[in-house]
Amino acid sequence: MPEPNQAAEVKLQEEFNRWAQEGKGEEMEDSHLPIVPPTLELMNLQPDDRVLDLGCGSGWLVRQLTGILSNGSVTGIDVSDEMIRHAQAATANLPNSQFLRGTAEELPAPANSFTKVISVESAYYRHDPARGLGEILRVLVPAGSAWVLVNYYRDNPDCHQWGAHYKTPAHLLSAAEWQGLFANAGFRNLQHRRIPDLSPTPEVYTGRWFRDAAQMRRFKAEGALLVVGVKP
């Protein structure tokens, strides 16, 4: 019988392999794109940064970052081997990039590997977010920083209904709770802020994530939660 953590990892992997097979990895580029450029600007990326994109999905952000990190590198890690296969297929021949299958709770990278870690819409799926943050701290160099963006968080009531649609457990934490996890993991210089999604909202919404277009509009105006911490 697999250990409880192994069982959770297998479930996550199966669920996100299904997403990858259904083409959702590529679709997420469109839905997550509006909250990423303001975050990259705050990160003040330098050409020689070594960046980890944790929970990289189909790898669109890794491909974007290779253009910025001309003397550095970018690594995408994801628990879903199917996402990693899609990412690798779409990224052939791009210099300074690599993809690895691995879990946030046990990152396949030596200590002090990265100057910055970004994670877009992935941290609340982790079966053990505290352990994931401990791992991020381990793989960062001293003075390196972690940038965690989540759209599903307690302070934005217009996303709470998503919980009913998830097939694996998801953590609905407040900004203060995320910041507490960062602090317990050993991060310092903690900050959190909202990153509003300024893209146009359709007049009529027919999907299953929002009640109607008005709720989607409110959700986007409130914005994603960005939590930042620095390794001492």
What are the residues binding ligand SAM (CB under 6 A)? 12, 16, 28, 32, 55-57, 78-80, 83, 103-105, 120-122, 125-126
- The CA-CA-CA angle for residues 226, 207, 86, to 5°, reads 65
Q: How far is the CB of 39 from ligand SAM (least distance, A)?
A: 11
Q: In whole angstroms, how close is the CB of 166 to ligand SAM at the nearest point? A: 10
Q: Which is nearer to ligand SAM, 39 or 73 (CB)?
A: 39
CB of 227 to ligand SAM, least distance (A): 15
CB 34 within 8 A of CB 199: yes
Contact between 159 and 204 under an 8 Å Cβ cutoff? The reply is no
In the complex with ligand SAM, the residue whose CB is nearer, 53 or 222, is 53
State the residue number with the nearest CB to ligand SAM: 57
CB 168 within 8 Å of CB 11:
yes
* Residue 44, phi then psi, degrees to nearest 5: 50, 55
Give φ, ψ of 43 to 5 degrees.
-70, -20
CB of 140 to ligand SAM, least distance (A): 16
Residue closer to ligand SAM, measured from CB, 127 or 232 = 127
Q: In the complex with ligand SAM, which residue's Cβ is closer, 123 or 203?
A: 123
Q: Specify burial of residue 42 (Cβ count, 10 A radius: 0-12, 13-18, 19+).
A: middle
